[in-house]
Structure 1
Amino acid sequence: MDKSNGLRVILFPLPLQGCINPMIQLAKILHSRGFSITVIHTRFNAPKASSHPLFTFLQIQDALSETETSTHDVTLLLTLLNRSCESPFRECLTKLLQSADSKTGEEKQRNCSLIHDSGWIFTQPIAKSLNLPRLVLNTYKVSSFRDHFVLPQLRREMYLPLQDSEQDDDPVQEFPPLLKKDLIQILDKETEILDSYTKMILETTKASSGLIFVSSCEELDQDSLSQAREDFQVPIFTIGPSHSYFPGSSSSLFTVDDTCIPWLDKQEDKSVIYVSFGSITTISEAEFMEIAWGLRNSNQPFLWVVRVDSVVHGTERIDEQLHEKGKIVNWAPQQEVLKHRAIGGFLTHNGWNSTVESVFEGVPMICLPFEWDQLLNARFVTDVWMVGLHLEGRIERNVIEGVIRRLFSEAEGKAIRERMELLKEKVRRSVKPKGSSYRSLQHLIDYISSF
């Protein structure tokens, strides 16, 4: 850490794996530049304070039951969290600021800003009443975050002849590079809670002092940035990929199975297909078996992350033949896995963190997206950057086997790897001195320091 600059930043992450990691990565970056760090967090999915002894952690009660926190409906979970955490957060933040004001001498730290995840929608009036500048942190691709605010309007207007299956592969002009069949999946979702929540995110973001895209860089989002600045009318900082500043550092909510690394050490270079669908996605037992046999029949060694709660009705039918060819773990150190010489491909749900980590390590992707931003990210991977192959939602063993063979054994896969190598180098340059993300980070630090 550089010498302390006398400034304290207060961070408030959402209690989801894909949100906590980027927030803690930002905390490490800011701490290395002289800021003191306080993290306010929920009881549910609390980050491991012992892993970050240089930060102060303050826990608030979320009052959610085990049934509520175990739901697979993420929008419902976030709605419940926002409802139950507003008062505890206000009380915690108020006490924190009052305590800081009472200190003197070397102990005194000026609280210069609050940075919270975009999913917290009650913070604006609280921060304003306490005269605390507030920035919003976002873990999505810039275009995903900007475009999803239009979805409620599209639903109200009954957009597109969605039932015309012959046009499923046509592009959506308003959402390039989405196809109509992608939009069908998005607009099919239950909307009342989601649309209300989305509106509040937009209002909270527009009222902030700035917007931080912690996993994006100009090289991956150049076309969307100018429009986003016009839409939000606040300073925007694209500082990603943030994990690159502290490689290998993770704040996993799951117990990592490190035995996968010695197993990878025994495999040939670029021979292994890594499979992970993130920390939230669930699949049926039938889908699990189709993926399993697609992997087995491809004849490529595989490393597959299967969370305990990720398969509906369990995985009792795992065959010994699967274990002979691959390794299945409950959770893996993903950054370490993706940079391993043995990894030759990544079968992914295309969450933005996973997508960027794959690009940063130059690992081609096989795309199986499930939700809104994942569908858009996957189209960028396959149709814009052309560094992966798309399963088009077909969870069938013969399709999965065929796509893996195309990536590992055919000329098409070789061309994909060459394009991925070029994209990797562009993104890696962004975080080096004089790179776009490096400059944006410096602008962010200067901005926060000016409050």
Structure 2
Amino acid sequence: MEKITNKGHVLVLPFLVQGHINPMVQFSKRLASRGVKVTILIIESVCKNMPKEFGSIKIESIPHDNSPPENIDKYFAWFFTLVSKNLGAIVKKLSHSEYPVKVLVYDALTTWAIDLAHQLGLKGVAFFTQSCSLSSIYYHMDPQTSEIPLDGSVVYLPSLPLLEKEDLPSFIYESVLYPAITELVFRQNINFKKADSLLFNKFDMLEEEAVDWIIRIKCSIKTIGPTIPSMYLDKRLKEDREYGLSLFKPNDEICMNWLNSREIGSVVYVSFGSLASLGEQQMEELATGLMTSNCYFLWVVRATEENKLPEEFMSKAKEKGLVVNWCPQLDVLAHRAVGCFFTHCGWNSTLEALSLGVPMVAMPHWSDQPPNAKFISDVWQTGIRVKAGENGIVYRDEIARSIREVMEEDKGVMLKENTIKWKKLAKEAVDEGGSSDKNIEEFLSNIM
């Protein structure tokens, strides 16, 4: 790759959730491959078991005396105070080197970071770990400014398909349940006014209308994804085979050995990410639905969720399934034995499935997952969405039916063909000269 000749230094501030860390780390790798100095900021308690650097990327530890609060509201305030207190000293230390810091790339949720960046004489760039369509929804339905009613059956928004209530983010119609997070996601709109540039983890073809809409209100926007390790897409970064900064320990060998013993396209991979928490009834319905689908399944059940599994399920599932606490998701999705991804529709998982050509069964849980599921089933047509009952539970018969439809029936063939198309487009975007590759080059030339 062509190297950038200036001595620019980019500071990267991710929000410390695995789904937010991964894409920002991958973007950092793309910058570093172009000769740009990159330092990632991680709080001390999180990075103590991580390497101090990987490749040419440095990890800068943010010290703290107290343990991070478990309460989500208090955590946001604690993180803001911690970064505000330490960022100036870190920038000063790094700026005494040959490569002074010029830019702070921050998670779009940490909107206060733009003011800190400008106070320190840095350019501030917001990194969105979500779709452009979700940003459009939050922009147009901000309770502080929106006049769009929620009492109808559908919502009409610029650049988006018709959305029903079930297609909207949970923070739109259940804001009272998540007051702190709701305030946080809508505050992201500040980035459209204050940030020097916007970065989105996606590629243009996925949401062309939403990208065009954002360009009209904020010219400086770059789509730089999908940000997954290079060896799964363009293969230009030869050592880039995994994300690198993981908060969880995967059961690599167990998973891959089990998959190696299965036939091509015979396995349903089931995962609900690092945060989603299903109720006991839903866990029972899912467990029974997987068993009655008559397909092999690899199910990721975090250690904190294991107690919700039905009694004797583990012993009954041995012939058909494997249950693990965590797994190397990219390796699993890329494996020839996997024929379907039963997913919560987190944005990273959605991009990974699209990029690796795996059709999906979509069972959104909360946050941005419902609109992602809408695009999976109705716009990109790379999966089907399960239908929940009146009480919000997705029952075993619906789960088994949906899996069989993707794995065995004619519709599954069509879905597979569509995923292969999107897989090709994802690769083309990050190939040398592709849209995302060009956007990274333009970002560097404009911001550095």
Q: Give the TM-score of the pair, scaled to structure 2.
A: 0.88
Q: Distance in 2 between matches of 1:428 and 1:101?
A: 36
Q: What amino acid sits opposite 2:195 in the alignment? A: S
Q: 1:196 aligns with which of 162, 169, 183?
A: 183
- After superposition, give the CA deviation of every residue in 1:97-135 in whole Å (9 maximum; x if it has no partner): 3224444xxxx1121211010111221222112111110
- What residue in structure 1 maps to residue 348 of structure 2? 353
- What residue in structure 2 maps to residue 98 of structure 1? 92
Structure 1 residues 64 and 391, CA gap change in structure 2 (3 angstroms)? farther
- After superposition, give the CA deviation of every residue in 1:402-425 in whole Å (9 maximum; x if it has no partner): 111111111111121122222222
Structure 1 residues 436 and 283, CA gap change in structure 2 (3 angstroms)? same
SS in 1 for 2:336: coil
Q: Give 1:320-399 correspondences, 5 Å limit.
A: 320-393=315-388, 394-399=393-398
Q: 1:179 aligns with which of 160, 164, 173?
A: 164
Q: Is the 8 A contact 2:429 2:436 kept in 1?
A: yes
Q: Distance in 2 between matches of 1:113 and 1:210?
A: 11
Q: Distance in 1 between matches of 2:196 and 2:211?
A: 17
Q: What amino acid sits opposite 1:29 in the alignment? A: R
1:85 pairs with 2:79: yes
- What residue in structure 2 maps to residue 74 of structure 1? none
- Alpha-carbon deviation of 1:386? 1.2
- Alpha-carbon deviation of 1:188? 2.6
Choose 134-143 or 421-430, whichever is displaced more: 421-430
Q: Is the 8 A contact 2:140 2:146 kept in 1?
A: no
Q: 2:135 aligns with which of 145, 148, 154?
A: 145
Structure 1 residues 418 and 3, CA gap change in structure 2 (3 angstroms)? closer
Q: Give 1:198-217 correspondences, 5 Å limit.
A: 198-213=185-200, 215-217=201-203
Q: Distance in 2 between matches of 1:3 and 1:161?
A: 52
- After superposition, give the CA deviation of every residue in 1:137-165 in whole Å (9 maximum; x if it has no partner): 11101111221233333997582336xxx
- What residue in structure 2 maps to residue 36 of structure 1? 37
- Alpha-carbon deviation of 1:222? 0.8
Count of aligned residue pairs for this structure pair? 428
- What residue in structure 1 maps to residue 238 of structure 2? none
Q: Give the TM-score of the pair, scaled to structure 1.
A: 0.88
- Alpha-carbon deviation of 1:373? 1.5
Q: Give 1:260-279 correspondences, 5 Å limit.
A: 260-279=255-274
- What residue in structure 1 maps to residue 13 of structure 2? 12
Q: Distance in 2 between matches of 1:421 and 1:64?
A: 48
- What residue in structure 2 maps to residue 428 of structure 1? 427
Q: 1:60 aligns with which of 62, 65, 74?
A: 62
Q: Distance in 2 between matches of 1:101 and 1:372?
A: 38
SS in 2 for 1:153: coil
Identity within the alignment, %: 29
RMSD: 2.5
Q: What amino acid sits opposite 1:38 in the alignment? A: T
1:126 pairs with 2:106: no
- After superposition, give the CA deviation of every residue in 1:158-202 in whole Å (9 maximum; x if it has no partner): 82336xxxx5xxx43225242233349541332643453234322
Q: What amino acid sits opposite 2:209 in the alignment? A: D
- Alpha-carbon deviation of 1:359? 0.6
SS in 2 for 1:145: helix
Structure 1 unpaired stretches of 5+? 72-76
SS in 1 for 2:250: coil
Q: Is the 8 A contact 1:62 1:84 kept in 2?
A: no
Choose 33-42 or 335-344, whichever is displaced more: 33-42
Q: Is the 8 A contact 2:285 2:395 kept in 1?
A: yes
Q: Is the 8 A contact 1:217 1:241 kept in 2?
A: yes
Q: 2:216 aligns with which of 194, 211, 230?
A: 230
Q: Distance in 2 between matches of 1:17 and 1:200?
A: 21
Q: Is the 8 A contact 1:177 1:376 kept in 2?
A: no
Structure 1 residues 4 and 39, CA gap change in structure 2 (3 angstroms)? farther
Q: What amino acid sits opposite 2:202 in the alignment? A: S
Structure 1 residues 282 and 51, CA gap change in structure 2 (3 angstroms)? farther
Q: Distance in 2 between matches of 1:335 and 1:436?
A: 23
Q: What amino acid sits opposite 1:56 in the alignment? A: K
Q: What amino acid sits opposite 2:131 in the alignment? A: K
- Alpha-carbon deviation of 1:271? 0.8
Structure 1 residues 183 and 225, CA gap change in structure 2 (3 angstroms)? closer
Choose 46-55 or 347-356, whichever is displaced more: 46-55
Structure 2 unpaired stretches of 5+? 233-240
Q: Distance in 2 between matches of 1:335 and 1:349?
A: 16
Q: Distance in 2 between matches of 1:21 and 1:3?
A: 24
Choose 267-276 or 186-195, whichever is displaced more: 186-195
SS in 1 for 2:111: coil
Q: Is the 8 A contact 1:282 1:311 kept in 2?
A: no
SS in 2 for 1:242: coil
- Alpha-carbon deviation of 1:445? 2.2
Q: Is the 8 A contact 2:260 2:337 kept in 1?
A: yes
Q: What amino acid sits opposite 1:326 in the alignment? A: G
